[in-house]
Amino acid sequence: MHFDSPSNAEINLFAENPMKLNVPFSLFFVTLLAACSGGDGKSVPPGPPGAGMPPPEVEVVTVAAGDATYTQDLPGRLQAYRTAQVRARVEGVVEKRLFAEGGEVKAGEPLFRIDARSYRAMAEAARAEAGSARQTAERYKSLLEIKAVSQQEYDLALAKAKQTEAARINAEESLENASVPAPISGHIGRAAVTEGALVGKGEATLLTTIEQLDPMYVNFTQSGSDLLRLRKAVATGVMKRADAAKVELVLEDGTTYAQTGKIFFTDMAVDPSTGSVSLRAEFPNPKRDLLPGMFVRIRFPEAIAENVIRVPQRAVQAGPQGQFVTIVGAEGKATPLPVKTGGMAGADFVIASGLKGGEQVIVNGLQKARPGTVVKAVPLVETMKMENKLSSGK
């Protein structure tokens, strides 16, 4: 930086009256002092030659060959374990709703109260008629023993007693149905009718719906060709069959459901229209985190492969030449390396070719690891936590 030296006239002016010093001349001394000292007035020593920014840190995993359980993620939809549509079984006017919408009900619990005065009267009449017919049949039985009545008269009295008993049962059932009991236990939805509505007039009016939410079903499909390929790989010894007793559920936000489930239904036929096989899994749902109709992904083990390399899914990138990973190569430089993936093992890719083992693959910090950039490799924290969990058996 170049500064103009003050003239003799300006120096003499400052000596005679320092307050008359012009602004450019004062800025000259301030700038000169700032250039020779730090911001706090202290002198700044010159930096070492070649000093610069430290290399960026990247999190890496050191890959090694081992066993991997091939998994497959398939889309599915949640379905309630049981669903019951509550309908009016008798005709009448709804007097009151007896449940809280969105709550839990138990089987047999009354849900609505329908005007039951006529059904109560019919039940009383049926009880009286059944009692009278039963007494008549008992009297005719004693008279038959002394030949006071014929066998035909006794048979008719006995038949009437049975008919009136059936009518009594039917009348009492209608009286009970006037309170609309819950057919199953579970979560009840909103009411489809209000007080004062006439229901059951010529049809079984829908009143509400009950769903049993614990456990829950997950319906999904698997490609028939994938199933055939897997069976061939197991039959030829390329892979070992995995224990598919436990399956995982991946929610819409990408998180894994805490409870594991099991596959208990597999259709033995391939749908000709879709070329897929229908499957169903069951998951416990004690906290009601799962709701019917939700879209989820089923992650289930297919087979076990030996001596393969796996890397986290986010470490694999795609470019015009195909898939590749970035490793920390010689002299600590980020180096792209083309790879091919052969399937999924949980949240990891199984590498079919491109890695031999021992490479430091960058997982986090890829945006800072441009090809040829010197980086500082640190172990991936997530991997260390997972290894600690596995070693402790948790």
Domains of the chain, with CATH numbers? 1-40 (no CATH), 62-79+215-392 (2.40.30.170), 84-211 (2.40.50.100)
Spatial contact of 348 and 311, defined as CB atoms under 8 Å apart: yes
pLDDT attached to residue 307: 85
pLDDT attached to residue 238: 53
Residue ranges for the chain with pLDDT beneath 70: 1-52, 227, 229-245, 267, 382-394
pLDDT attached to residue 14: 43
C-alpha–C-alpha distance, residues 262 and 45, integer Å: 70
Strands 57-62 and 376-379: parallel
pLDDT attached to residue 96: 92
C-alpha–C-alpha distance, residues 77 and 280, integer Å: 10
C-alpha–C-alpha distance, residues 317 and 339, integer Å: 9
Spatial contact of 187 and 211, defined as CB atoms under 8 Å apart: yes
Cα 20 to its chain centre, rounded Å, is 80
pLDDT attached to residue 237: 59
pTM attached to this predicted model: 0.60
